[in-house]
A and B are shown apart, each in its own frame.
Chain A
Amino acid sequence: MKDLINSRKKFHGLVFLYSLAAIVIMLLLVTLGTAHIPIVDILKIVGKKIPFINQVIDDSSISNAYRTIVLNLRFPRVIMAFIVGAGLSSSGLIFQGAFRNPMADPYVLGISSGAAFGATIVMILGLNFTLLNFNAISIGAFIGAAMTTFFVFSVASFQKSKNMTMLLLTGIAISFFLSSFISLLMTLNRDMIENIFFWTMGSVSTASWDKVSSIIIGTAIGIAIFMYYSTELNIILTGESNAKALGVNVNRVRKILLYTASFVSALAVSVSGIIGFVGLIIPHAVRLVIGSDNRKLLPLTVITGGVFLAISDGIARSIASPMEIPLGVITAFIGTPYFVFLLLRKKLR
């Protein structure tokens, strides 16, 4: 009993330390950029925004331009990268668990190609409007992702026995279809090729507080739902029949989790385009270190995925400054070697 309590306390301590480290890393990422702003000034600017503490901080030496850069450009960008990374990696984790398939990722049900298709249509039609802080391309991407997912679910549900393989294959088939459709649209609208291409490579360069506020609540609620069902998901992973025999309502839990994960990843994709790799590899990397218990895996995956994407974006915007490297390229470049390292370390132990 004692080691049980100890390990739980240890874990809570670990999550706390890890969160602190994440915050420090994100503050350091705010210092990255063309204008050199020292960390001390950044701390002052942030401190000035916090009640009570702001009484004792003197930021009069900092220029207003710096203040704007830090508060309105860099901070929302780092935070949006974190939210997108957290959303993609946690929904990837849920897809892997709900399908009991380690190869699943947030895009497995055709969300990426659906979003890209929606975004492409909006770009070609030249639509321009905003709704709930989302711009037209984001709205198009979200609708595309939602409709694709819904279509995949309805096709698969025609089968009497709820076969997960059927759902996966339907998603893959729809993805191929939509990707071909996008290629066709690109061929017919050659002037839009660059825009479409860069959108599908993923980026958080258009981050703003408006965008942050429009995805943060949905993502947080989604992650809370994942957490709520993490015990059930653990049991489902050890076998569906056995899970039912233990009193888990497998079909219901899985349905809720799949819909929620689709929603969370669609939100992320709609503001950032298609950032590959994060949703597949981050859950695996964390799992290799702490095992498959979703109650522990989930919070650590959220933090790791968020920080990983924030760091990747830091590199993407500073390595070839003022040019930006697509975020999907960076995530694959730094993620792959690290993942291979983890796999090898596991084998060698």
Chain B
Amino acid sequence: MNAHAYSIKKLNFKYDTNRMILNDLTLDFKKGQITGIIGPNGSGKTTLIKNLSRILQPDSGELYLFGKDLAKYKQKDLALTTGVVFQERDSEFQFTVFDIVMMGRYPYKKKFEVENAEDYAIVTDALEKTNTYQYRNRYLDELSGGEKQRVLIARALAQEPKVLILDEPISHLDLHYQVEILKMIQELAKLKDMSIIVILHDLNFAYKFCDQLILLNEGAVFDQGTPEEVITKENINTVYKVQIEIIKDLKNNGYHIIPAY
């Protein structure tokens, strides 16, 4: 049995310009675990997940999803396996929250097949999990940034993927929902054996909620491993050019990372 959700070998990617964005990445994303991707702006985090979700095609290298060549997946089969929430929330067009989340059922539907009771139940469940059920009849553009973010996560949940990829899912949320969303992600990984790949900026959350971390720097893997292995004073100082202190929290048996400047 394949223990890896995604497995990539010597992945290279560049945009139209000649600058290499992803440089010889070799990585494994373990099944049923939360893998956090951290790194400074422009280090290639979003480009990496766009390669994982086949929005972008690599220039060279191998990409496997559950042991099968990613390029061999049909578009709909890929959507049944991997759900992605990108940072794209601005739309001039109006859809109700319910309609948006129901779009998550699209890969399951044949042409003109109407939604059935099962779809309805799954959508309701996704709305409740993300605490957005009360907005179901409102238009998405009437909601705040954080509420929109939760609706888009609900849509990815309605997709019932085996792998869930999230691009900075908590960046527009208040503290309460930052914790709520991360707890929900943890629960999904544990109960549904979902593999989670998440880009995070907050090192404290990355430390606390992720099983594995990948630290990217200038398109290359700087370090990978458990949070304790990756978030060290030396690594962070080299990559972010910031001094940090890691303080042991005796009460909660954890660590706090604070910048020292």
Residues of chain A whose beta carbon lies under 8 Å from any beta carbon of chain B: 1, 4, 8, 97, 100-102, 160-161, 228, 231, 234-235, 237-242, 244-249, 287, 291-293
The segment from B25-33, B90-98, B171-179 that touches chain A is B90-98
User: Given A4-B115, A245-B55, is A237 in contact with B79 using a C-beta cutoff of 8 Å?
Assistant: no
In the complex, the answer to whether A241 meets B79 with C-beta atoms within 8 Å is no
In the complex, the answer to whether A238 meets B159 with C-beta atoms within 8 Å is no
B89 contacts across to A, CB distance below 8 A: 239
Chain B residues numbered 89-135 whose CB sits less than 8 Å from any CB in chain A: 89, 91-96, 99-100, 103-104, 106-107, 111, 114-115, 117, 120
In the complex, the answer to whether A241 meets B88 with C-beta atoms within 8 Å is yes
User: Given A1-B117, A241-B55, A244-B54, is A100 in contact with B92 using a C-beta cutoff of 8 Å?
Assistant: yes
Residue of B nearest to A297 (CB): B93
Chain A to chain B contacts (Cβ below 8 Å), 16 pairs: A8-B114, A100-B93, A160-B16, A161-B16, A234-B99, A234-B103, A239-B86, A242-B85, A242-B152, A245-B53, A246-B103, A246-B106, A247-B76, A291-B94, A291-B139, A293-B95
- Measured in the bound complex, the distance between the Cα atoms of B55 and A245 in whole Å is 7
B75 on interface, CB distance cutoff 8 Å: yes
- Residue among A101, A161, A242, A291 making CB contact with B96, cutoff 8 Å: A291
In the complex, the answer to whether B78 meets A292 with C-beta atoms within 8 Å is no
Rounded to whole Å, the gap between the CB of A196 and the closest CB of chain B is: 36
- Residue among A160, A235, A241 making CB contact with B84, cutoff 8 Å: A241
- Residue among B75, B85, B152 making CB contact with A247, cutoff 8 Å: B75
A231 contacts across to B, CB distance below 8 A: 106
Contact indicator per residue, chain B 158-190, by CB within 8 Å of chain A (1) or not (0): 010000000000000000000000000000000
Residue of A nearest to B54 (CB): A244
B201 contacts across to A, CB distance below 8 A: none
User: Given A4-B120, A231-B106, A247-B79, is A241 in contact with B86 using a C-beta cutoff of 8 Å?
Assistant: yes
**Size band of the B side of the interface?**
35 or more
Contact indicator per residue, chain B 1-39, by CB within 8 Å of chain A (1) or not (0): 000000000000001100000000000000000000000
- Measured in the bound complex, the distance between the Cα atoms of B55 and A160 in whole Å is 15
- Residue among B79, B84, B120 making CB contact with A1, cutoff 8 Å: B120
B78 contacts across to A, CB distance below 8 A: 247
B100 contacts across to A, CB distance below 8 A: 238
In the complex, the answer to whether B94 meets A292 with C-beta atoms within 8 Å is yes
Chain B residues numbered 59-101 whose CB sits less than 8 Å from any CB in chain A: 75-76, 78-80, 82-86, 88-89, 91-96, 99-100
In the complex, the answer to whether A238 meets B104 with C-beta atoms within 8 Å is no
B256 on interface, CB distance cutoff 8 Å: no
Rounded to whole Å, the gap between the CB of A5 and the closest CB of chain B is: 9
Top 8 nearest A-B pairs by Cβ distance?
A: A247-B79, A239-B88, A245-B84, A292-B93, A247-B107, A247-B76, A241-B86, A292-B94
B115 contacts across to A, CB distance below 8 A: 4
Rounded to whole Å, the gap between the CB of B75 and the closest CB of chain A is: 5
A240 contacts across to B, CB distance below 8 A: 88
Residue of B nearest to A292 (CB): B93
In the complex, the answer to whether A102 meets B84 with C-beta atoms within 8 Å is no
In the complex, the answer to whether B106 meets A247 with C-beta atoms within 8 Å is yes
- Measured in the bound complex, the distance between the Cα atoms of B159 and A77 in whole Å is 49
Residue of A nearest to B151 (CB): A238
Rounded to whole Å, the gap between the CB of A31 and the closest CB of chain B is: 38
Residue of B nearest to A232 (CB): B106
- Measured in the bound complex, the distance between the Cα atoms of B100 and A45 in whole Å is 49
Residue of A nearest to B161 (CB): A245
In the complex, the answer to whether A291 meets B92 with C-beta atoms within 8 Å is no
